[in-house]
Amino acid sequence: MYITIEGIDTAGKSTQIQKLQEHYKDALITKEPGGTELGTKIREIVLGAEIKSKKAEFLLFLADRAEHIQEVIKPNIDKMIISDRSVVSGVAYALVQGEISETAIVHLNRFATDAIYPKKVFLLKLTKEELEYRLSQKKLDGIELRGVEYLLGIQEAIIKATQLLDLELVVVDATKDIEAITKEIISAI
């Protein structure tokens, strides 16, 4: 089963993936962007905040996504795959940019993924207050520097992305205790 853990920065994706890996010992753990050698380079470029064109950023994410599907997901589709982000985040970020139509975003992502999507999407959802607190506790990367309202817009766009891609969404309150979140995800798998 191919599942994805989605959420904005600081929502606890890495923590939950680590907990799921302890529970599903044979699971393949991956991430997007950065789940391949090429993806790691693309991730560095995007998080480095060097890109001026939102369209260029979108196309780089599509390149990473196509490589990730080809190199990681397709060869392991019969196994348990747990991904830190997926096509869902890609669509969400593109929706927020507002430079590309919803139809084009969906079609280009379908092209990049060969319509191979996660079976379940888990969104770790944060409140504005919790997001502000968590961001205040760390050094911000290029995406986080865009601000709280931008990140909350991404969070809402993740929900819309699952609707556009017709994917099963499980919304999880990311302000809960870590163990409670893990139990909720495992019970929904």
- The pLDDT-based confidence of 92 (bands split at 50, 70, 90) is very high
Contact yes or no for 182/113 (Cβ under 8 A): no
Model pLDDT for residues 99-144, shown as the tens digit of each residue: 899 999 999 999 999 999 999 999 999 999 999 999 888 887 667 7
Residues 6+ apart with CB under 8 A from 167: 88, 117, 118, 120, 121
Helices 148-164 and 128-136 pack at an angle, to 10 degrees, of: 120
Characterize 14-25 residue by residue with b for buried, 16 or more Cβ atoms within 10 angstroms of its Cβ, and e for exposed.
eebbebbeeebe
d(CA 107, CA 79): 27
Mean pLDDT of 78-104: 94
pLDDT score of 154 more than 70: yes
pLDDT score of 19 more than 80: yes
Residue-range domains of the chain with CATH: 2-188 (3.40.50.300)
